[in-house]
Structure 1
Amino acid sequence: MRKEEERPPSAADAEPTKLRLRRELGLASSVSLIAGCMIGSGIFMNPQQVIYYMGSPGGSLVIWAACGLLALLGALSYAELGTFIPESGGDYIYILRTLGSLPAFLVIYASTLLIRPAGIAAISLSFAEYVVAPFYPGCPSIPSVAVKFVAAICILVLTLVNCWSVRLATGLMNVCTVAKVLALLVIIGGGLWVLGQGQAGAALQNAFAGTSQQLGSISIAFYQGLWSFNGWNNLNLVMEELQNSNKNLVRAAVISIPLVTGLYVLVNLSYMVVMSPSDIRDSSALAISWGNQILGDWAWLVPVSVALSTFGSANGAFFGGSRVCYVAAREGHMPGILSMAHVRHLTPSPALAFTAAVALIMIIPGNFSSIVNFCSFVLWMIHGTTISCLLYLKVKKKDQPRSYKVPILIPIIVLLASIYLILAPIIDQPQMEFLYVFLFVLSGFLVYFPLVYFQYQPQLLKVATAQLQLFLEVAPTMKNVD
Structure 2
Amino acid sequence: MASRAVSSATSTPVETGPAMRKELGILGAISLIVGCMIGSGIFVSPGGVLEATGSVGLSLVVWVCAGLIALMGSLCYSELGTMLPKSGGVYTFVREAFGDIAAFIWIWVDLLLVRPSSLAIMALTFGTYFVAVFDLCGNTRLYVRLAAVACLVTVMFLNCYSTKLANWATIISTVFKVAALLVIVCGGILKLAQGNSLALTSGFQGSNYDVTKISLALYDALWAYDGWVCLTTVVEEIQKPSRNLPIANTAGVVLIVIVYLATNIAYFAAMTTTEILEADAVAVVWGDRVLKGASLFIPVAVMVSAFGAVNGNVFSGGRSIFVAARDGNLPSILSYIHVDKLTPLPTMVFTTVTTTVFVLLGDISSLVDFFSFTVWLFYGLSFGSLLVFRVTKPDRVRPYKCPIVIPVVMVIISIYLVLAPIIKEPSIGYLYAALFSVGGLIFYFPFVKYKLDLPYKGGLIFYFPFVKYKLDLPYKDKLTLYIQLILQVVPPTKYMD
Tell me, yes or no, whether TM beats 0.5. Answer: yes
The root-mean-square deviation of aligned C-alpha atoms, in Å, is 1.6
Q: Distance in 1 between matches of 2:360 and 2:157?
A: 21
What is residue 5 of structure 1 aligned with on the other side? none
What is residue 96 of structure 2 aligned with on the other side? 97
What is residue 213 of structure 1 aligned with on the other side? 209
In the alignment, is the contact (CA less than 8 A) between 2:16 and 2:494 conserved in 1?
A: no
1:392-411 superposed matches below 5 A: 392-411=388-407
What is residue 428 of structure 1 aligned with on the other side? 424
In the alignment, is the contact (CA less than 8 A) between 1:21 and 1:347 conserved in 2?
A: yes
Q: Distance in 1 between matches of 2:366 and 2:222?
A: 14
Query: Which is worse superposed, 233-242 or 401-410?
Result: 401-410
Query: Which is worse superposed, 142-151 or 258-267?
Result: 142-151
1:296-375 superposed matches below 5 A: 296-375=292-371
Q: Distance in 2 between matches of 1:45 and 1:395?
A: 42
What is residue 493 of structure 2 aligned with on the other side? 478
Query: Does residue 239 in structure 1 map to residue 235 in structure 2?
Result: yes
Q: Distance in 2 between matches of 1:332 and 1:56?
A: 50
1:197-276 superposed matches below 5 A: 197-201=194-198, 203-276=199-272
Query: Does residue 190 in structure 1 map to residue 187 in structure 2?
Result: yes
Query: Does residue 174 in structure 1 map to residue 189 in structure 2?
Result: no
Q: Distance in 1 between matches of 2:332 and 2:312?
A: 24
Pair 147,477 (structure 1): closer, same or farther in 2 beyond 3 Å:
same
In the alignment, is the contact (CA less than 8 A) between 1:45 and 1:126 conserved in 2?
A: no
For 2:107, give the aligned amino acid: I
Shift of 1:285: 2.2
Q: Distance in 1 between matches of 2:202 and 2:47?
A: 18
Shift of 1:268: 0.8
Q: Distance in 2 between matches of 1:200 and 1:17?
A: 62
In the alignment, is the contact (CA less than 8 A) between 1:87 and 1:481 conserved in 2?
A: no
SS in structure 1 opposite 2:330? Answer: coil
SS in structure 1 opposite 2:215? Answer: helix
For 1:186, give the aligned amino acid: V
What is residue 458 of structure 1 aligned with on the other side? 473
Pair 377,389 (structure 1): closer, same or farther in 2 beyond 3 Å:
same
Q: Distance in 2 between matches of 1:286 and 1:334?
A: 41
Pair 282,136 (structure 1): closer, same or farther in 2 beyond 3 Å:
farther
Q: Distance in 2 between matches of 1:397 and 1:219?
A: 34
For 2:253, give the aligned amino acid: I
Query: Does residue 381 in structure 1 map to residue 396 in structure 2?
Result: no
Q: Distance in 2 between matches of 1:215 and 1:61?
A: 16
SS in structure 2 opposite 1:363? Answer: helix
Matched positions, count = 464
Shift of 1:378: 1.1
What is residue 7 of structure 1 aligned with on the other side? none
Shift of 1:251: 0.4
Q: Distance in 2 between matches of 1:454 and 1:399?
A: 33
Query: Does residue 26 in structure 1 map to residue 22 in structure 2?
Result: no
For 1:462, give the aligned amino acid: D
What is residue 447 of structure 2 aligned with on the other side? none
Q: Distance in 2 between matches of 1:270 and 1:133?
A: 23
Q: Distance in 2 between matches of 1:215 and 1:446?
A: 37
In the alignment, is the contact (CA less than 8 A) between 2:191 and 2:269 conserved in 1?
A: yes
For 2:387, give the aligned amino acid: L
Identity of aligned residues (%): 40
Shift of 1:262: 0.6
In the alignment, is the contact (CA less than 8 A) between 1:130 and 1:285 conserved in 2?
A: no
What is residue 67 of structure 1 aligned with on the other side? 66
Q: Distance in 1 between matches of 2:324 and 2:285?
A: 43
Q: Distance in 1 between matches of 2:133 and 2:241?
A: 43
In the alignment, is the contact (CA less than 8 A) between 2:16 and 2:493 conserved in 1?
A: no
Q: Distance in 1 between matches of 2:83 and 2:66?
A: 26
For 1:392, give the aligned amino acid: V
Shift of 1:104: 0.3
Q: Distance in 1 between matches of 2:476 and 2:210?
A: 50
What is residue 44 of structure 2 aligned with on the other side? 45
In the alignment, is the contact (CA less than 8 A) between 1:122 and 1:367 conserved in 2?
A: yes
Q: Distance in 2 between matches of 1:207 and 1:456?
A: 62
Shift of 1:481: 9.0
In the alignment, is the contact (CA less than 8 A) between 1:128 and 1:150 conserved in 2?
A: yes
Query: Which is worse superposed, 255-264 or 16-25?
Result: 16-25
Q: Give 4+ residue runs of structure 1 displaced > 6 Å after superposition.
A: none
